[in-house]
Structure 1
Amino acid sequence: FDLVVVAVKSYDTQEAIKRMLPFMNDDTWVVSPQNSINEVRIAPIVGANRTVGCITTISAGIYKPAHITRTGSVSQSLQKEPICFKVGELHGEITSRVEKIVDLFSSAGKTVPTKDLWGERWSKMVTNCMVNATAAMTGMMSHEVRANKISRMQILNLAIETIKVGRALGYNVVPPMGDFSLDDMEEAAGPNGHTELDRVLSGEPPAVPGRPSMAQDVIKGRATEIEYLNGMVSDKGTEMGIKTPYSNAVVEVLKAVESGEFDVGMDNLDRVDSIVRASA
């Protein structure tokens, strides 16, 4: 194959790539539009020269085989000019193959090249870590997670931790809420709140509401990517000496939901809050 698009869960990435190796040429392009940061798992197997990154902000639901519904995306709802895909090389150059992939993906939505794959990857991690686990543990739709005052406090704290960890690692991590800064987010998560940011987050629902992938996994009884999202933030935070109490607590509660110890429901927000308070 000239082009391989890796569309499996993060935990299946390495096995899927190994199975595809016999079907690759020396100049096959291996593109990852996945959640998390799987280029670091793909490149050691196929080579950095064959690996291309792709950040996607579109959302979709699939509850029956071959029945896919394009839904509203939290990422896009917080952007002034929504972009569906950003394609980039590991080394940051805009190459001819990046331009070709941009052209191919543009049929599915606005696609642009990026010179900062790693910064874009961590910026996407912020949205994933905010919304995915919170929706999965509560049963809320994506827009409900940001509109509900209690869950909004949780997603803000998760976003703050992810930004701090990504920046500590040296990446240009951009908050997902338009022109709002990390300071604005910390103010919004504090006792006095941030009126304008709260207004943006609690805005109108999308025309076609949807759930993030992790919430769909829980509904289907599948393993989630929690270790590759909030779990990764926790691990990297530990390495960098940055406290990530909300990320740690969300991983603990979501794993209990996966195992059947906890049911999906709003009371899981209270469980996260209790774990955070106990760790203070």
Structure 2
Amino acid sequence: MTQAENADPILIWGAGAIGGVMGAYLARAGQAVHMVDVVERHVEAMRNEGLSIEGPVDEFQQRLVADTPETLQGRFRRVILAVKAHHTEAALDQLMPHLSDDGFVVSAQNGLNEKLIAQRIGSQRTLGCFVNFGADWLEPGRILYGNRAAVALGELDGAVTPRLKDMHALFSLVESNAVQTDNIWGYLWGKLGYGSLLFATALTPESMADAMSSPGHHAVYATLGEEVMRIAVAEGVRPLGFNGFDTEAFIHGDQAGIGRSIAAMVTHNRNTAKTHSGIYRDLAVRKRKTEVDAQMGIVLEIARNHGVPTPGIAALCTLIHDIECGRRAQSMELLDEMLSVCV
């Protein structure tokens, strides 16, 4: 590690599935990393025994410098924000005193959080990021790294800047095929389309692959993907596909192409130790709110601004809320209910 790297550590705010994997890999590669997490036992484990990365991709243990928001001191130039989308506002409130005057934030999250971050600190201090590898927080000190997948970084205006090159090089230490892109919004909207299908699988107790491969529910997945892609186009975005998700097929309502895309996504999700989405784990395992409002709810707001009808996404949000509040249980029957608005 060089003296410059020691003097300019990377602050990773949120040491869960994504942030934990990234922090462990960067530290193992010799980068100075400082982790922040709200779970005190997780912080203690990272400091003492080290963070355990487990699963088929890699297995190692990495001791990390770590703090809770209450104990963190100092200011940082490079901040990777890796909290759940609906915790973005609160995390920004806590991290802002620790962001240096020339600092910037990289949003390694799901959704369009770059919009919120840019509103708070300015677009010139916000770097876009797309992450699709599969990981799960198992318990304090343990992260499952289930599969490798697409990663991309880009400036919000598509420019190529020194900091983009710097952060792309760092992210490449985690995912060697990480992409430096001039269309980060295309990746983020592609992820929202993909994510809408994963929210639908979380209505059920089945794995992502099993729920998505159900032949009787093709219309549900087709409708959700089509709705999100129509909104992206209305926003003036050119959505990009990845890991089986074919944005062009969904944009044009090409049912044969959508069928091939869903089959490719099923194949991708069968080749992972992360069998269920993080949305499913929030509902079934951790019994807490999901990111549905911060992802799909935001999409609904944007759709209303453009006058784009979204009956599928609206029904999906209602059912996820019902599960969160204990009014409904996860079941394949909820996908059956979705069929009435997904034709």
TM norm structure 1: 0.85
For 2:335 and 2:250, the matched residues in 1 are separated by 24
Alpha-carbon distance, 1:184 to partner: 8.6
Partner of 2:171: 105
SS of 2:101's equivalent in the other structure is: coil
Structure holding more helix per residue: 1
Mapped pair 1:170 → 2:239: no
Identity of aligned residues (%): 26
Shift in CA distance, 196/34, structure 1 to aligned 2, threshold 3 Å: closer
For residue 120 of structure 1, the aligned residue among 181, 187, 202 is 187
For 1:36 and 1:166, the matched residues in 2 are separated by 13
Partner of 1:79: none
SS of 1:28's equivalent in the other structure is: strand
Partner of 1:88: 154
For 1:210 and 1:63, the matched residues in 2 are separated by 13
Instruction: From the CA coordinates, give the structure whose radius of gyration is larger.
Output: 2
Mapped pair 1:263 → 2:343: no
For 1:200 and 1:53, the matched residues in 2 are separated by 26
Q: Residues 192-207 of structure 1: matches in 2 within 5 Å?
A: 196-197=260-261, 199-203=263-267, 205-207=270-272
For residue 222 of structure 1, the aligned residue among 285, 288, 291 is 288
SS of 1:53's equivalent in the other structure is: strand
Partner of 1:17: 92
Structure 1 contact 166–173 (Cα < 8 Å) conserved: yes
Alpha-carbon distance, 1:185 to partner: 6.9
For 1:184 and 1:90, the matched residues in 2 are separated by 23
Q: Which runs of 5+ in 2 are unaligned?
A: 1-75
For 1:89 and 1:201, the matched residues in 2 are separated by 28
Alpha-carbon distance, 1:262 to partner: 0.3
Deviates more, 1:238-247 or 1:136-145: 136-145
SS of 1:35's equivalent in the other structure is: coil
1:33 alignment partner AA: A
Deviates more, 1:146-155 or 1:18-27: 146-155
Shift in CA distance, 93/253, structure 1 to aligned 2, threshold 3 Å: same
Alpha-carbon distance, 1:248 to partner: 0.8
Structure 1 contact 234–248 (Cα < 8 Å) conserved: yes
Partner of 1:30: 105
Partner of 1:212: 277
For 2:280 and 2:103, the matched residues in 1 are separated by 33
Where do 4+ consecutive residues of structure 1 move more than 4 Å?
A: 193-199
Aligned residues: 264
Structure 2 contact 312–338 (Cα < 8 Å) conserved: yes
For 1:212 and 1:257, the matched residues in 2 are separated by 15
Residue-by-residue CA offset, 1:169-197 (whole Å, 9 max, x unaligned): 110013454667336973428xxx97645
Shift in CA distance, 117/201, structure 1 to aligned 2, threshold 3 Å: closer
Partner of 2:81: 6
Which structure ranks higher in relative contact order (CA pairs < 8 Å, sequence separation ≥ 6)?
1
Structure 1 contact 123–175 (Cα < 8 Å) conserved: yes
TM norm structure 2: 0.71
Mapped pair 1:70 → 2:137: no
Structure 1 contact 123–173 (Cα < 8 Å) conserved: yes
Partner of 1:80: none
Structure holding more strand per residue: 2
Residue-by-residue CA offset, 1:253-273 (whole Å, 9 max, x unaligned): 111011100001111112222
Partner of 1:48: 123
CA RMSD of aligned residues (A): 2.4
Structure 1 contact 56–86 (Cα < 8 Å) conserved: yes
